[in-house]
Amino acid sequence: MPEPARDDAPEDFAVVVRRHQARVFAILHRYEPDSHRVEDLAQETFLKAWRARAAFDHRAPFEHWISRIAVRVALDHLRREKRRRNDIALPELGEDALDWLRSTDENREPAARDAAELLHCALRELSPSDRVVITLQELEGRSVREIADTMGISRVAVRVRALRARLKLRSALEKWMNL
């Protein structure tokens, strides 16, 4: 993908958005299920990329550069959300999930939707950086090297965070399943 134009032509900005919006939306949706918030985060991502376009240095493809910006916007969003709400109220889970959580039938397997809600709730208990590592590695299938480059941390730090995040996630899932 060629470098974006460095002048202030609005049509150049529109070209950047058209070329990369699917990827940016896909990245952001992994961290925020609300499509309205994803739109806001995507707009923030593109504005940050546009304002910093002079810093793009061609060492990596533009797609990787804007993806890194999207991940950082998502991480900032998760940090803000974590500060805003410390805990999840059970009514936020919805009646179906609450019925499943309250069920005494140990043989009952959660439906896919219930399991997804349960996983989402457990993920919310992780720190923003742990959530990013787990999402990039497990949901997006990124390599340790890609995650390190995207997050701007060492490969060892990625491995350590991934291990700790999995342990925390397992503990959170067990907690939610034992409610």
* pLDDT per position as a tens digit, 75-84: 888 877 766 5
All CATH 1.10.1740.10 domain ranges of the chain, comma separated, are: 1-87
Residue type, 27: I
pLDDT score at 70: 92
In which residue ranges of the chain is pLDDT below 50? Answer: 1-3, 5-6, 86-94, 97-98, 100-102, 104
Specify the CATH class of 88-179 in words: mainly alpha
pTM greater than 0.85 (yes/no): no
Quote the tokens at residue 50.
Answer: 């546009």
Is 39:70 a contact under the CB 8 Å cutoff?
no
Nearest to residue 20, comparing CAs of 50, 63, 74, 73? Answer: 63
Q: Where exactly does CATH 1.10.10.10 map onto the chain?
A: 88-179
Exposed / middle / buried, residue 105 (Cβ in 10 Å: 0-12, 13-18, 19+): exposed
Domain 1-87 annotated CATH 2.60.120.10: no
